[in-house]
Structure 1
Amino acid sequence: MRRYYFPIFHNGETQTDDVGEMFSSAEVASRYGARVARDIASDPDCDRDAGTVVIVVDASGAAIARHRVR
């Protein structure tokens, strides 16, 4: 299991994720990041034009996926 982080870029600012989640692979972490983006988009108050992106980052700090909130 490896730790992955899911910072969110929204309105020009980044909300960091200092805790992260444990996943068995980068693929599983990326799917989780996509689900987070879908959950954000499902909020009726979500501004889908704000350019919000959920970024999936591995423990070394490398971005492995980006999921746009639509």
Structure 2
Amino acid sequence: MQRYFFPILHKGETQADDVGELFGSDELAVQYGARVARDIASDPDCDRDAGTVVIVVDATGAEIARHVVKP
């Protein structure tokens, strides 16, 4: 298991993820990041024009995926 982090970029600002989640593979972490982006998009108060992005980062700090929040 490896720890992955999911910071969120919203309106030019970063919301850090200091805790992260444990996953057995990069693929599972990428899938989780996509689900987080879908969950944000499903919020009726979500500003879908804000360019919000969920980033998937592994324990070494390497970015492995980006998920744009879409309407």
TM-score band by shorter chain is over 0.9
Q: Tell me, in whole angstroms, the C-alpha distance in 1 between the residues paired with 2:60 and 2:2.
A: 11
2:9 is the alignment partner of 1:9: yes
2:37 is the alignment partner of 1:61: no
Residue identity (%)? 79
Gaps of 5+ in 2: none
Q: Tell me, in whole angstroms, the C-alpha distance in 1 between the residues paired with 2:10 and 2:26.
A: 23
What letter is aligned with 1:64?
I
- Where do 1:1-70 residues align within 5 Å? 1-70=1-70
Q: How many residues align?
A: 70
Deviation digits for residues 22-43 of structure 1 (CA, Å, limit 9, x no counterpart): 0000000000000000000000
Normalising by the residue count of structure 1, what TM-score does the alignment of the two structures yield? 0.99
What RMSD over aligned residues (CA atoms) do the two structures have, in Å? Answer: 0.3
Gaps of 5+ in 1: none
Deviation digits for residues 1-52 of structure 1 (CA, Å, limit 9, x no counterpart): 0000000000000000000000000000000000000000000010111000
What letter is aligned with 2:33?
G
Runs of 4+ residues deviating >2 angstroms? none
